[in-house]
């Protein structure tokens, strides 16, 4: 009973502290994500007052937070819009791979971490955080902007690329044969294809399956379906984020509108826990030795991500300000990058320094991402106003 009491006190303190940080962020006009991350860093492993009684709950709550973030993002768009976006942005997706995977691979090679280390760091620096980007777009009220479908298509391309990358990485770390790796990738692609076909052809049946006039029944069906799909997708080596996003795509019409209204408070609660847990799991003592390399890598990949979004939006005829907003929105890295580094370090196939570098890098990018998305437009307008007018 004593342990339960301590866990409840710690959890209550975390939630109350999140409320204070959220209020502070609202007053100063910024996204609360950086404050949540820094709060977790202060009270996690090696922090000021480490909290150790809430790990079982917060670990699962963080996973639910990512599922809900991507589910609600998927509810904003139809399956047709998704396919159209992918068709239009496939070239930008390939550019994204080249521009953002190369810096991580190059750093790992220069540090002598070998081919597997280079392949791992390529994934760490390549993929944006769908969870953070989704939260930032919602906080800034940009879900209806012209550039948002472009951002979404890049995120979807990246998440689908992870469905190919992660099985290959896992096979390489475990020393599995080339044929075994191809089999894992094939399973991932089949699962994604099946879910997309269901969303396109039978979306109305999916909506009818979860819909109910009773709010309690509706919430239970919807949340249950989201967790089931995410869990099955994860078990089949497909990202849980991809699974929940595709479920959101499959739900349409009034069902999607009701689902969004009902799930938003739950999303905000569990998403806040996700960002805090990321900070809680980071030991501040590991950061200083790798900070110079992390700063250089962060600077380089901020530029490459902004360039990616700028090019993608320009290809779709978006204006200059929309191009900048699209690029800045993609800067943040997060959950996938940590998962990739964790897999590599746990296998023993790469240097333990990789985990420290990945943690410092992701923490920097998770803080820089929301800030960049917030300030890019005011800064761009200020620069344009200061430019001399042409006769």
CA distance 170 to 160: 16
Rounded to the nearest 10 degrees, what angle do helices 130-139 and 320-329 cross at? 130
pLDDT, greater one: 177 or 219:
219
CA 100 to the chain's CA centroid: 15
Q: Mean of the pLDDT values across residues 64-72?
A: 82
CA distance 138 to 272: 14
What is the average pLDDT value for the chain, to the nearest integer? Answer: 80
Q: What is the pTM of this model?
A: 0.73
What angle (nearest 5°) sits at the alpha carbon of residue 301, between those of residues 307 and 174?
Answer: 125
The fraction of the chain above a pLDDT of 70, given in percent, is 83
CA distance 358 to 298: 11
Rounded alpha-carbon distances, angstroms, from residue 117 to 260, 324, 360, 373 = 40, 32, 16, 30
Q: Which of 165-169, 173-177, 241-245, 273-277 has the lowest mean pLDDT?
A: 173-177
Contact 281, 44 (CB under 8 A): yes
- How many Cβ atoms are within 10 Å of 104's Cβ, its own excluded? 27
Q: Which of 24-28, 142-146, 239-243 has the highest mean pLDDT?
A: 142-146
Contact 152, 73 (CB under 8 A): yes
Q: Look at residues 126, 197, 193, 196 and name the one whose alpha carbon lies nearest to residue 155.
A: 126
218-238 pLDDT, tens digit each = 899 988 988 988 888 777 666
Q: Which of 36-40, 77-81, 222-226 has the lowest mean pLDDT?
A: 77-81
Residue 5 reports pLDDT greater than 60: yes
Rounded alpha-carbon distances, angstroms, from residue 17 to 2, 65, 267, 302, 368 = 22, 18, 18, 30, 22
Contact 86, 242 (CB under 8 A): no
Contact 168, 185 (CB under 8 A): yes
Q: Which of 55-69, 157-171, 260-274, 328-342 has the lowest mean pLDDT?
A: 157-171
Q: Look at residues 43, 47, 53, 46 and name the one whose alpha carbon lies nearest to residue 18.
A: 43
Q: Mean of the pLDDT values across residues 176-185?
A: 63
266-320 pLDDT, tens digit each = 888 888 887 787 777 667 777 888 899 999 999 999 999 999 999 999 988 888 8
pLDDT, greater one: 355 or 124:
124
CA distance 230 to 228: 6
Confidence tier at 8 by pLDDT (50, 70, 90): confident
pLDDT of 48 reads 60
Compute the radius of gyration of the chain from its Cα atoms. 21
Q: Look at residues 168, 196, 173, 162 and name the one whose alpha carbon lies nearest to residue 184.
A: 168
Q: Mean of the pLDDT values across residues 200-221?
A: 84
Q: Mean of the pLDDT values across residues 105-111?
A: 93
Confidence tier at 390 by pLDDT (50, 70, 90): very low
Residue ranges and CATH numbers for the domains of the chain are 2-384 (1.20.1530.20)
Q: Which of 81-90, 137-146, 223-232, 295-304 has the lowest mean pLDDT?
A: 81-90
């Amino acid at each position: 009973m004593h342990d339960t009491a301590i866990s409840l006190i710690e959890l209550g303190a975390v939630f109350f502290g999140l409320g204070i940080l959220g209020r502070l962020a609202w007053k100063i006009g910024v996204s609360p994500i950086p404050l949540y991350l820094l709060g977790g860093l202060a009270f996690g492993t090696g922090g000021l007052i480490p909290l150790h009684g809430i790990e079982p709950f917060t670990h699962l709550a963080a996973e639910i937070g990512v599922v809900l973030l991507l589910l609600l993002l998927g509810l904003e768009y139809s399956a047709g819009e998704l396919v159209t976006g992918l068709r239009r942005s496939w070239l930008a997706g390939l550019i994204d791979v080249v521009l953002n995977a190369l810096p991580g691979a190059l750093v790992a090679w220069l540090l002598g971490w070998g081919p597997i280390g280079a392949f791992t760091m390529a994934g760490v620096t390549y993929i944006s955080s769908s969870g953070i980007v989704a939260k930032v777009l919602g906080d800034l009220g940009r879900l209806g902007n012209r550039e948002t479908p472009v951002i979404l298509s890049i995120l979807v391309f990246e998440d689908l690329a992870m469905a190919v990358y992660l099985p290959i990485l896992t096979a390489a770390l475990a020393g599995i044969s080339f044929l075994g790796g191809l089999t894992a990738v094939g399973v991932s692609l089949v699962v994604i294809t099946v879910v997309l076909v269901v969303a396109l052809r039978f979306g109305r049946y999916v909506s009818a399956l979860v819909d109910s006039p009773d709010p309690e029944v509706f919430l239970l069906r919807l949340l249950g379906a989201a967790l089931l799909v995410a869990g099955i997708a994860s078990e089949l080596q497909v990202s849980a984020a991809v699974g929940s996003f595709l479920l959101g795509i499959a739900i349409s019409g009034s069902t999607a509108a009701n689902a969004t209204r009902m799930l938003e408070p739950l999303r905000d609660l569990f998403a806040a826990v996700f960002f805090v847990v990321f900070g809680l799991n980071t030991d501040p003592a590991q950061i200083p030795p790798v900070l110079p390399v992390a700063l250089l890598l962060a600077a380089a990949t901020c530029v490459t991500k902004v360039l990616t979004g700028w090019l993608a939006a320009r290809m779709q005829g978006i204006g200059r300000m929309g191009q900048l907003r699209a690029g800045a929105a993609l800067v943040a890295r997060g959950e996938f990058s940590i998962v990739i580094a964790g897999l590599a370090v746990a296998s023993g196939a790469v240097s333990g320094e990789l985990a420290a570098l990945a943690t410092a890098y992701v923490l920097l990018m998770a803080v820089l991402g929301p800030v960049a998305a917030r300030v890019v437009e005011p800064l761009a307008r200020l620069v344009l106003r200061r430019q001399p007018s042409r006769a």
